[in-house]
Structure 1
Amino acid sequence: MGQNGASARRWLERVLLALLGTVVGLIVCEGLLLIGGISCPNFYRPDRYTGTALRPGAQGWYRGEGEAYVRINRDGLRDRDHTLAKPAGTIRIALLGDSYAAGFQVSADKTFWSVMESELTKKNVFAGKHIEVLNFGVPGYGTALELLTLQHRVWKYSPDLVLLAFVTGNDVSDNTFALGHEKRTPYFVHRGGRLILDEDYLEWYHSREGAIPKLYYWLLNHSRLLRVFKEASYRIDQAVRLRQQMEVAARSGFQEIGLSDMIYCQPEDALWNEAWDITEELLVQMRDDVRSHGAAFCVVTLSNGIQIHPDRAVREEFMRKLGVADLFYPERRIMDLGTRAGFPVLNLAPALQSYSESKGMYLHGFGAGVGAGHWNIEGNRVAGNMMAE
């Protein structure tokens, strides 16, 4: 018995020593990440209506593309705090969009919506009224999630104008699971001749409820090491998603160009026709919801890097590979829809192309990635000024 007891004590001592070593190792790793300034801040939370949303109060350095200190306000917007009640003498503009609108790549005062607000104020567009832009943009959102955001989050602020920032490069493909491949995202689907919300994403959302998930998110928000691991997992997921998209592109005959570039061509397969049909129906639903609240609705299509590349020869070579005469098919299609459905559309890409070519200036990208990705500081500035004109 004594020999068994001694063996048990030695086993317990080894376990405790291993646990202590693990704890010390984790503390050391956290300290090294702190000293190195590595944090990978968590800006997101699970959300009942949109799958994911920005986390109120989150802040930290974003260095995924460009570099900016990002703060999420108390209501989960990448913006300053706003009162729910609209101040007297104020025109409120609610901006819906994705990562372009969120603008993590630049400081908040350099984003296009901040520039637009400042320019509209300077120009006294609304006859002495104060202009207030509220930014509801969230990275990864498509038209479906922007519609849900409008329905569940925007109206408590009583906006006068709802401005949808539409990114042709991915907003259409983001609106169907067949092209988007995101299980955490709500999608609208055609069933019985109607466009309805498919709530399959709720399985993922409900898996994030309960004590254990809450503990996980608490640790995530307080542990740099866990956030670094999560960032690595996210990058792996993105690589898998990109491979899936490339497979879809290959089946459609676009092996060389890639999935996102199919947006510049008139769709000839069922997947892209469905994606466009859903997108257009969502835009009409958005128009109807805005009108029912007595506000105005406007769509502004932004730009993709290749559309406004300053070198004409680069654009022409890209068009040759695609077999198209220009890169503005999605802009024309959205403009045509606006004409039929009775809402204004502002297409920025043609004007931005002229500007970048005349100045020999890249408006997309940072550092080694210049020419691609999101708008840089100059791109945001020029776009914001154009929107205010």
Structure 2
Amino acid sequence: MNLIVRVATLVIGGAMLALAFSDDVRIVGGPGLGLTELILLVVGGLNVAAAFVGGGFLAGWLVCQVSVVATLAVAEFALRLTVAPRYLSPFQLDDRYLYDLVPGARREYRHMPVNGGTQLYSVNSFGFRGAEFDAARSAKPRVVIYGDSFIQAEYTALENTLAVQLAERLTSSLNAEVEVINAGVAGYGPDQVLRRVEDELEWLQPDLLIVAVFTGNDFGDLVRNKLYRLSFDGQLIENEFRFSDEIQLNASLETSEPVLRKVGRQAKAGIQAMLQGDQPAPPSPLQRTEERLEQHVREYKEFVISGDNVVYDLRTDPYSADIALQPDSDSAQYKIRLMKVVVAAIQGQAEESGVPLLLIGIPHPMDVLGGKHASGEVDTGKYPAYEPTRLTGTLQDIAARLSIDHINLYPHFAAVDDPAALYLLGGDDHWNDVGQSLAADVVARYIEDRGYLKSD
């Protein structure tokens, strides 16, 4: 019996030492010597030493370790049953789209206190937000709408999203059920939408394809994502990108790390924040705009001038400050040209599938409010070229040149008595339920007037 205990202790000790040096994110959280690795090294070393020394204490020591592991396993299981949506990411890396939603995922979106509460949402088996639907077409009209966080709207109850509200309005006006599929993914740019359209339009077989562009930051995605670049003669060419080591590590942590470790990390960060006391004041809205302009210029030089194909950021999308403030700059002009050919490629896919395309331009709250919002502010004296309508107007010009049906939401939002009431508070630049309701009204009327959908 003593031999069995010694062998078991030796095996456990060896396994602990192996895990300590493995850099397995599921256990130790990645490379480097951290607290978990240190514990594994110490306890593993003690196990190996104890196995060779022997003694009557070994059985009790072994039972103690098994009990600790069992307790941790039960705690992890309990956390996954209760709070997993708060800590598990709904996103996964993808070699074609950069990332996409995890089919079947459930996630809890946590608002800033000023916007109140949390929002639990789910992803269906096809990787779209919302309820399940039949892949095979039925007699009812089908609309699919692509876009970024404004369309996925993870911060909004499902019934208040643009997709659901649009379906309700169209169903009412046609007196027949209309299916609107929410194909939005937070952080997506039109380049990622292009690839999704290439892969999904054939099997979705919609009667109408809607592509929503948040002009406030989608121009920058085209350079930051590094999926495409312009050839010397202005043609769209696919680019061979690779993820940075940090992105790959973080993606592994998001999908594979135990919830117990995530909870522990959050608790540690909270304690550190309390101990640090007062934090430096955040940048002013004017400073934020300056920082975003600098970022856009830096990203342009990195990708276009230096040819750096490493993707460093996936879901942080700053305001399109270069186009808004310095529209004649190299950075702005490159992005405008790139946007045009990406939209043209989406148009080509729609035409090839025989599906009408509708482009929607969503304005940034800073532009709707004349250059001043909690998320940013424009120094019009320093940047006299700034015009609140420039970003949405640029997209509208692209649509006109390509003869694509287009809705510019800027005039509809700016005409409201209090445009700020269409967006979330606290510097969050996303629209709220009211903004999505207004957009649904505008888009539904346009679709009805154009006669895109026919009821049987």
Normalising by structure 1, we get a TM-score of 0.75
Instruction: For residue 380 of structure 1, report the CA deviation from its aligned partner.
Output: 1.3
Change (3 A) 1:152 1:203: farther
1:289 match? 349
Aligned-partner residue type, residue 384 of structure 1: A
Distance 1:333 1:362 in 2: 25
Pair 1:198-2:231 in alignment: no
CA distance, structure 2, for counterparts of residue 345 and residue 119 of structure 1 = 19
- How far apart in 2 are the matches of 1:299 and 1:26? 50
Q: 1:152 aligns with which of 199, 209, 212?
A: 199
Q: Deviations over 1:60-89 (max 9, x none)?
A: 32114553211100100012112112111x
Supply the distance in 2 between the matched residues of 1:267 and 1:18 (Cα, whole angstroms): 64
1:323 to 384, 403, 417: 384
- State the SS of the aligned residue for 1:96: strand
Q: 2:158 aligns with which of 108, 121, 126?
A: 108
2: CA distance, partners of 1:32 / 1:132: 36
The yes-or-no answer on 1:352 pairing with 2:352 is: no
Structure 1 pair 266–320 and aligned structure 2 pair: CA distance change class (3 A): closer
Residue 127 of structure 2 is aligned to residue 80 of structure 1: no
Structure 1 position 57, deviation (Å): 0.6
Distance across 2 between alignment mates of 1:231 and 1:122: 49
Counterpart residue identity of residue 335, structure 1: Q
Structure 1 residues 219 and 346, CA, compared in 2 at 3 Å: closer, same or farther? same
In the alignment, the residues of structure 2 paired with residue 232 and residue 330 of structure 1 have an alpha-carbon distance, to the nearest angstrom, of 42
Aligned to 1:373: 429
Whole-angstrom distance in 1 between the partners of 2:264 and 2:180 = 33
Give the Å deviation of 1:103. Answer: 0.5
Equivalent residue, structure 2, for 1:236: none
Match of 2:227 among 175, 187, 192: 187
Q: Distance in 2 between matches of 1:276 and 1:328?
A: 15
Aligned with 2:428: secondary structure? coil
CA contact (8 A) 2:413 2:419 kept: no
Specify the alignment match of 2:211 in structure 1: 164
- The aligned counterpart of 1:248 is 295
TM-score between both structures, scaled by the size of structure 2: 0.65
Report the structure number with the largest CA radius of gyration.
2
Deviation at 1:373, TM superposition (A): 2.0
Q: Which of 193-202 and 107-116 deviates more?
A: 193-202
Residue 362 of structure 1 aligns to a residue whose secondary structure is helix
Work out the CA distance in 1 between the residues paired with 2:371 and 2:231.
Answer: 45
How far residue 313 of structure 1 moved from its aligned partner, in angstroms, is 9.1
Give the drift of 1:320: 2.3
- Alpha-carbon distance between aligned partners in 1 of 2:229 and 2:366, rounded to the nearest angstrom: 31
Partner Cα separation in structure 2 for residue 231 and residue 164 of structure 1: 40
Query: In the alignment, which of 55, 62, 69 is matched to residue 120 of structure 2?
Result: 69
Q: How does 1:119-158 map to 2 (within 5 A)?
A: 119-124=169-174, 128-158=175-205
Corresponding residue SS for 2:178: strand
Structure 1 residues 146, 25: CA separation in 2 closer, same or farther (over 3 Å shift)? same
Does the 8 Å contact 2:215/2:395 carry over to 1? no
Give 1:201 shift. 3.1
Q: What is the CA–CA distance in structure 1 between the aligned matches of 2:428 and 2:51, rounded to whole Å?
A: 66
After TM superposition, give the deviation of residue 117 of structure 1 in Å: 1.4
Partner of 2:333: 273
Deviation at 1:307, TM superposition (A): 2.3
Shift in Å, 1:14: 7.3
Contact 1:319 1:326 in 2 (8 A): no
Residues 70 and 104, structure 1, Cα contact 8 Å, conserved in 2: yes
* Structure 1 residues 344-379: Cα deviation after superposition (integer angstroms, max 9, x where no partner): 111102211211xx147521114xx1x632111111
Q: CA deviation digits over 1:210-240, x for unaligned, max 9?
A: xxx6xx77744x635347759999xxxxx9x
CA RMSD of aligned residues (A): 3.9
Compute the displacement of 1:330 (Å): 1.7
The percent identity for this pair of structures is: 19
Report if aligned partners of 1:40, 1:231 keep a CA contact under 8 Å in 2.
Answer: no
